[in-house]
Amino acid sequence: MAAVTQAAAGTNADTDAAVIRASLADPDRFASIYDRYAGMLYRYAYQRVGAEVADDVVAEAFLSAFRGRASYDLDRQDARPWLFGILTREIATQHRREQARYRAMARSTYETVQDGPADRVAARVVADAARGPLAAALAGLAPGDRDVLLLVAWGQLSYDEVADALNIPQGTVGSRLNRARRKVRKAMGGFDPTTTMEENDEL
């Protein structure tokens, strides 16, 4: 994951921190941060609040990041945890929409037609069958537990990156994640799809 981030960031002189530092004198430079991470943040927001809201929360998150860039800790070369933290706060303002999305998904029946290798089709069928119960399980989680679970599973952040994003101790990340996964496993009859969510694009 770090290797991918560094590859996206380019040379050391072009790290996220370097770009943010340069943007203090030349605001247009901040567009590079948007280019690097807008797609990633949109996919995460889409899964949590749906297409109608995702554009707005991502736009607000980047606007907030731009306005607050002077307070960014330039010792942190990777801006992803910072951006995901801002986005999580924006998503929190859409709590009711997120809950409604999960409830609607839990009630829905999905029919998927896919071409391709048999094992890939089988994996998609399993994912479709799990989608409704998983959505119901996510709706039942405390907001803080859900944030941690989905930042790990969908945002693909490490424990320390989640701690940084949410400004909480790493131990709290671990306890919230364990509690959330325990509740998801119980709701899913012992199966925890969040451990392999990073392989799927959506619920």
pLDDT tens string 163-203 = 999 999 999 999 999 999 999 998 888 877 777 554 444 45
User: CA-to-CA distance for 198 and 40, rounded, in angstroms?
Assistant: 12
Domains in the chain: boundaries: 1-93, 96-203
3-state secondary structure of 188: coil
The mean pLDDT of 143-159, rounded to a whole number, is 95
- 116 pLDDT band, cuts 50/70/90, is very low
Distance in Å from the first CA to the final CA of the chain: 22
pTM over 0.85: no
The mean pLDDT of 13-37, rounded to a whole number, is 95
User: CA-to-CA distance for 107 and 25, rounded, in angstroms?
Assistant: 51
pLDDT tens per residue across span 33-78:
999 999 999 999 998 988 889 999 999 999 999 999 999 999 999 9
Does the 96-203 domain belong in CATH 1.10.357.10?
A: no
1-93: CATH, from 1.10.8.350, 1.10.10.10, 1.10.1740.10, 3.40.720.10: 1.10.1740.10
pLDDT tens per residue across span 126-145:
344 456 788 888 888 999 99
Extract the tokens encoding 186.
């119980």
With b meaning 16 or more CB within 10 Å and e meaning fewer, what string describes 49-73? bbeebbeebbebbbeebeeebeebe
Instruction: Please answer whether residues 19 and 33 qualify as being in contact, where contact means their C-beta atoms are separated by less than 8 angstroms.
Output: yes
The mean pLDDT of 119-132, rounded to a whole number, is 44
**Residue 31, C-beta contacts closer than 8 angstroms, at least 6 positions apart:** none
